[in-house]
C-alpha cells in the first residue's frame, strides 16, 4: 500500500472496530447483570460482528503488503440507566462508525487506492444494515417503556439472534 495516510486511517478503523466490539461486550455484561439473557446474547453477537469487521480489515491490510499496528482500547462505558439508554447509545455509536467508514472511503478515493475503495463498499452496505438493526431494536424498546412482560418477550426474541458474518 503506497499511501501512508491511508494505512494509518485503516489502522485507526481497526482500532475503532475492536473498541466497538469491547463496548458491546460491556453492554452484554450490563444485560447479564439485569437478568436479561436475550439482550446479553444479542450484544455478544454484535461483539462478534465487530470483531469480524476488525479482522476483515486486518486481513486486507496484510493482503496489500501493509502492517497492522494495534492500538490501545479505552475502558468501555459499563453503567447504563436502562435498555433504552443502551440502545440509544448503540444507534449513536453505529452512526459514528458509518461516518468513520465514509471518511475512510473518501480518503481511499482521494489517494486513488481503488482496491481499498472496493473493499470499503462492503462496509458501507454493512453500516446501512447495522444502523437499521439498531434503530429497530431501539424503537421496540421505546414502545415497551416500563412494561415488564413485553420486555421479557423482547428479551426472548433477541435471544434468537444468529451470527451474520
Ligand atoms: Fe463495525 Fe457496527 O460497525
Q: Does 164 score more than 70 pLDDT?
A: no
Q: Does 127 score more than 70 pLDDT?
A: yes
CA–centroid distance, residue 15 to ligand 1 (Å): 11
Query: HSE (CB half, 13 Å, CA atoms) of 106?
Result: 6
- Indicate whether 81 belongs to any domain: yes
- Indicate whether 70 belongs to any domain: yes
CATH of residue 86 = 1.20.1260.10
Cα→Cα distances 50→80, 149, 165, Å: 21, 31, 9
Neighbour count for residue 123 (Cβ, 10 Å): 21
**% the chain with pLDDT above 70:** 98
Confidence of residue 80 (pLDDT cuts 50, 70, 90): very high
Contact 80, 23 (CB under 8 A): no
State the pLDDT at residue 162.
86
State the pLDDT at residue 129.
96
CA–centroid distance, residue 149 to ligand 1 (Å): 30
**Backbone phi, then psi, for 14, in 5-degree steps?**
-60, -45
Q: Whose CA is nearest to atom 1 of ligand 1?
A: 50
- Indicate whether 165 belongs to any domain: no
- Indicate whether 34 belongs to any domain: yes
- Indicate whether 164 belongs to any domain: no
- Rounded to an integer, what distance in angstroms lies between the CA atom of residue 131 and that of residue 53? 15
Q: Coil, helix or strand for 1?
A: coil
Domain range for residue 38?
4-158
- Rounded to an integer, what distance in angstroms lies between the CA atom of residue 12 and that of residue 104? 10
Atom number in ligand 1 closest to CA 49: 1
CA angle 72, 127, 17 (to 5 degrees): 10
Length of the chain as a residue count: 165
Nine-digit cell at 79? 453503567
Q: Which residues line ligand 1 (CB under 6 A)?
A: 17, 20, 50, 53, 94, 97, 130
- Indicate whether 163 belongs to any domain: no
Name the least confident of 14-18, 99-103, 146-150: 146-150
State the pLDDT at residue 8.
98
Q: Domain count of the chain?
A: 1
Amino acid at each position: 500500500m503506497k499511501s501512508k495516510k491511508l494505512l494509518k486511517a485503516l489502522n485507526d478503523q481497526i482500532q475503532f472496530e475492536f473498541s466497538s466490539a469491547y463496548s458491546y461486550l460491556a453492554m452484554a455484561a450490563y444485560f447479564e447483570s439485569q437478568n436479561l439473557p436475550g439482550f446479553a446474547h444479542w450484544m455478544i453477537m454484535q461483539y462478534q460482528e465487530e470483531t469480524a469487521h476488525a479482522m476483515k480489515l486486518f486481513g486486507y491490510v496484510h493482503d496489500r503488503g501493509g502492517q497492522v499496528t494495534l492500538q490501545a482500547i479505552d475502558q468501555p462505558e459499563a453503567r447504563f440507566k436502562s435498555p433504552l439508554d443502551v440502545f440509544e447509545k448503540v444507534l449513536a455509536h453505529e452512526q459514528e462508525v458509518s461516518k468513520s467508514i465514509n471518511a475512510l472511503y473518501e480518503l481511499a478515493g482521494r489517494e486513488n487506492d481503488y482496491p481499498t475503495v472496493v473493499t470499503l463498499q462492503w462496509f458501507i452496505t454493512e453500516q446501512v444494515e447495522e444502523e437499521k438493526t439498531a434503530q429497530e431494536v431501539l424503537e421496540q424498546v421505546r414502545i415497551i417503556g416500563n412494561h415488564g412482560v413485553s420486555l421479557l418477550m423482547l428479551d426472548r426474541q433477541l435471544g434468537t439472534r444468529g451470527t451474520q458474518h
